[in-house]
Amino acid sequence: MRKACKLALKQQKFGCRFLHQKEVRLLGRLVMHSEQTFRNLVGLFHLKWGRYSPKESERFKYVISQLTNIQCRQQLYYWKLSVEVIDMCDFAVGLSRQLNGSIIPSERPNHMMLEMWNPLGIVGVITAFNFPCAVLGWNACIALVCGNCVVWKGAPTTPLVTIAMTKIVASVLEKNNLPGSIFTAFCGGAEIGEAIAKDTRIPLVSFTGSSKVGLAVQQTVNQRFGKCLLELSGNNAIIVMDDADIKLAVRSVLFAAVGTAGQRCTTCRRLLVHETVYEKVLEPLVDVYKQVKIGDPLEKGTLLGPLHTRTSRENFEKGIQNIKSQGGKILTGGSVIESEGYFVHPTIVEISPKAEVVKEELFAPVLYIMKFKTFEEAVEINNSVPQGLSSSIFTRNPQVLFKWIGAQGSDCGIVNVNIPTNGAEIGGAFGGEKGTGGGREAGSDSWKQYMRRSTCTINYGNELPLAQGINFG
């Protein structure tokens, strides 16, 4: 794989570097070029970028989707997610014309107040393996239309995707006579991420990954008074109330828990079922789990591909051991498949919500199922874990529905009703609370994190009245 990456890099003339550990010092030089580019072009290039990138990115859709499927081992029906960056470019085009601030009435005569939003400078983006293009798009497209330069470190296990995406961006910049240092990418290990986190010339670092690593990134960035945008671990629950549409709920749980082999931050990991419909949910769910087609993710009809790496499969095996040691009962699955590739059986576990293993994110297709008696108990279980990314409830009761999305309900950043925990749309802000990091990416007003706000007061008169009626001399 490394040879293939080096060959690809030699054949292309664009801003992607494959750095050894001893070569990390080169990152500083490239960041310096990005900083100089920002100072020379600040505010001048963002509309051009937005206007051209959707069309250019479309040309590479097939290549990007295939590389993502091969390197991430995702099923073919996820190819649209792998090229979600195209949709983000479209979204960013319109957004670039709406980066407006407020006009605030002034209490002083012949004065006005307004907000100005200006670019930060350089935005560092560190992405994970599972959605190497989509997460880049959520960050880079918004950062660029806000007038920033971007320094991107892709996952070390998906270098070909990093190279291909950088080529697409470079072609857009080149056709618009813009310097390549507007967008710089790196292939490498943790040392690259550490260098980005420490670099004082990068005022914002967006990190996607585990809560453990994210906390370390945040601490490093905070030490230099930089900003962090964190999208970390999820431990997402689906609640099935006694009045729920059972068929709809079972279909949603299957997609949310088994899709992408449980390797997405919004995967459903906990299923909370009202005690009166527990068997009605469990029986059909176990049946469909046993029918899931496991195999080559590039083959049509495959619903479950392999885990990403050998380490991922080893973590699955360790997780199953911990589950059993804490009283968990394996209802289906719970074992690896002895074959070429890192395949495992999709697993359903009956376990107490108080078990310590339930509070951890096991990045694999393992679903914990548990009973509850009341809505209040379900909410308590949902909110009892350290993470706070996504959640969903299945109910037809408006009273329960509005409690769920309100202050008495879920404490997550994504709170759904009658749909799975995954499959977020780009128009809304994506992110979570607590151990998920608190950051927001993609839509709504997430763009504000990629800019700095200035409150401006303008005196257009000849007097100097002071605020709050103060009289000074």
> Residue 350 contacts by C-beta under 8 Å, 6 or more apart in sequence?
328, 329, 331, 368, 369, 370
> Residue 263 contacts by C-beta under 8 Å, 6 or more apart in sequence?
130, 307, 308, 312, 363, 364
The per-residue pLDDT for 213 is 96
Burial zone of 216 (CB within 10 Å; 0-12 exposed, 13-18 middle, 19+ buried): middle
CATH topology of domain 25-232+437-457: Aldehyde Dehydrogenase; Chain A, domain 1 (3.40.605)
Stretch (H or E) spanning 271? strand 268-274
DSSP structure string for 58-93: HHTHHHHHHHHHHHH---GGGHHHHTHHHHHHHHHH
In CATH, what number does 236-417 get?
3.40.309.10
The per-residue pLDDT for 472 is 84
Same topology between domain 25-232+437-457 and domain 236-417? no
The terminus-to-terminus CA distance of the chain in angstroms comes to 74
The per-residue pLDDT for 454 is 97
Q: Is 360 a catalytic residue?
A: no
> Residue 371 contacts by C-beta under 8 Å, 6 or more apart in sequence?
272, 273, 274, 275, 278
CB 332, CB 353: distance < 8 Å: no
- Rounded Cα gap, residues 385 and 358, in angstroms: 8
3-state DSSP assignment of residue 331: strand
DSSP structure string for 418-470: SS-S----TTSEE--EETT-S--EESTTGGGGGEEEEEEEEE-SS--PPGGG-
35, 56, 174, 231: the active-site residue: 231
Stretch (H or E) spanning 278? helix 278-290
CB 268, CB 257: distance < 8 Å: yes
CB 261, CB 78: distance < 8 Å: no
Phi, psi of 95 (to 5 degrees): -60, -35
- Rounded Cα gap, residues 146 and 337, in angstroms: 47
- Rounded Cα gap, residues 97 and 140, in angstroms: 17
Q: How many CA atoms lie within 13 A of 58 on its CB side?
A: 5
Report pTM.
0.88
Walk along the chain (473 residues) in steps of 10 and give the mean pLDDT of each run.
Answer: 42 49 58 64 50 52 56 50 74 89 95 96 95 91 92 92 86 82 89 94 97 97 98 98 98 96 96 98 98 89 92 97 98 95 96 97 97 98 98 98 98 98 94 98 96 97 90 78
| Backbone CA torsion sign across 318, 323, 326, 329 | negative
Q: Where are the domains of the chain?
A: 25-232+437-457, 236-417
